Homo-oligomer: A and B are copies of this chain.
Amino acid sequence: MHIYDISLTISEQLPVWPGDPPIRLQRLQKMEEGDSCNVTHLNMGAHVGTHVDAPFHFLGGDSATVESLPLNLLTGRVYVAQFPDDVSQIDAAILQAANIPPRTRRLLFKTRNSAYWENQTPEFMTDFVALTPDGAEFLIHRGIRLVGVDYLSVAPFADGTPTHQALLQAGVIILEGLNLSQVTPGRYSLYCLPLKIDGADGAPARAILIGV
């Protein structure tokens, strides 16, 4: 039984969303300076690296925050769909042709984005492959309950609001920042476990796939 780690490594070199503060990992206690143990301190956004978005991220008000996302959606059977490198956006037409198996409830998209992680591209790339608003509607009507993408946003860089709002309003969990470079398309079991952060709009997560 092979475990695929589809999570990004959190480091100060990991690109973050433009305008967000950079990731800071600071060692506050150091054995080499006489402390009894080493202790690292974390200073980073809730949406760094591999992470989930909660409804509160783009809906606000009294919408659900990340600690309440249902674990029985975050874990379970998943389908990894792969798109060729010339696909620059995932819209309804592309999805219609993608042969997503019936009864799929969790869906991850492997695109050319994964090569950014494989190559450790240090810059934030604005031309990442993303889901269009009509692609989001297609998924909602197909009964998808969790969608995962291999760059830092599910939505196109130019305008993130419509895709995010459509998915979150429909109760679809959004999983972003996956590295799918080592995974072939097909069926797996997903375990996506975000930190349980009180009242937050999102949370960093560790996500793994297990072959079925």
Contacts and interface: CB of A to CB of B under 8 A. Distances in A.
Interface of A: 3, 5, 7-12, 20-21, 25, 27-28, 31-32, 36-47, 49-50, 56-58, 60, 67, 71-72, 75, 160-161, 164, 191, 193-202, 204-208
A42 B43 contact: yes
A5 B71 contact: yes
B38 A45 contact: no
A72 B57 CA distance: 33
B36 A160 contact: yes
Given A46-B42, A196-B9, A206-B196, A201 B3 contact: no
A20 B50 CA distance: 26
A31 B63 CA distance: 12
A44 B28 CA distance: 11
B206 A195 contact: yes
Contact of A39 (B25, B57, B204): B57
Given A37-B164, A43-B43, A46-B41, A195 B60 contact: no
A25 B197 contact: yes
* Interface residue SS majority, chain A: mixed
B5 A38 contact: no
A146 to B, nearest CB: 15
Nearest to A30: B60
B57 A201 contact: no
A75 B208 CA distance: 10
B204 A195 contact: yes
Given A195-B195, A198-B11, A37 B3 contact: no
A41 B45 contact: yes
Contacts of A39: 20, 45-47, 57, 201-202
17 contacts: A9-B198, A10-B197, A11-B198, A11-B199, A20-B28, A21-B28, A25-B198, A25-B200, A31-B60, A37-B161, A38-B57, A38-B58, A39-B45, A39-B201, A75-B191, A75-B208, A193-B205
